[in-house]
Amino acid sequence: MVNTSFVAQAAPDIKRKLQKLEGFARMNITQPIEVANKVFMNREVATEREAEKRLKKKATLLAALKETDAAKTGRPQPPKGGKPRAPLAKDQCTCCKEKGHWKNECPNRKGPSKPSRYREEPRGKNLVGLAGIELD
């Protein structure tokens, strides 16, 4: 009688396991408790396995999504294991790799060139408000 009320109040997975056992009503009270404890401990392991499966599935989906996004951009992907680009010097052009100017001032670059952001004339020669005063 105690065993049947124990089984009736148990969780569904524990109830299923106890009802599969033959003669659970005639067992000593400690035996169904041991079975219930085993099922309960395995429940945690099963949830951990399911969580790992979900995580692996997400990782594979993310990797597949990343591959399809890279293919959609149309840009060629750098070869894996290829040589990395050498770093440029501070005064080196990215177009022709010559030193002394930057990309926007490159003489070999196609298209309209932009004016230099550095002044060509020294300060003090063209002062607007000081007409007629020599600075020397």
Condensed to tens digits (0 to 9), the pLDDT of residues 40-93 reads 888 888 888 899 999 999 999 988 888 776 666 666 666 666 677 778 888 899
Q: What span, in angstroms and rounded, lies between the C-alpha atoms of 61 and 54? A: 10
Q: What span, in angstroms and rounded, lies between the C-alpha atoms of 25 and 5? A: 10
% the chain with pLDDT above 90: 8
- Run of H or E including 50: helix 30-73
With both helix axes pointing from N to C terminus, report the angle between 2-9 and 30-73 in degrees, rounded to the nearest 10: 20
Within 8 A by CB and 6+ apart from 135, the residues are 124, 127
Smallest CA-to-CA distance from 39 within 56, 63, 15 is with: 15
pLDDT at 126: 57
pLDDT at 133: 61
pTM of the model: 0.35
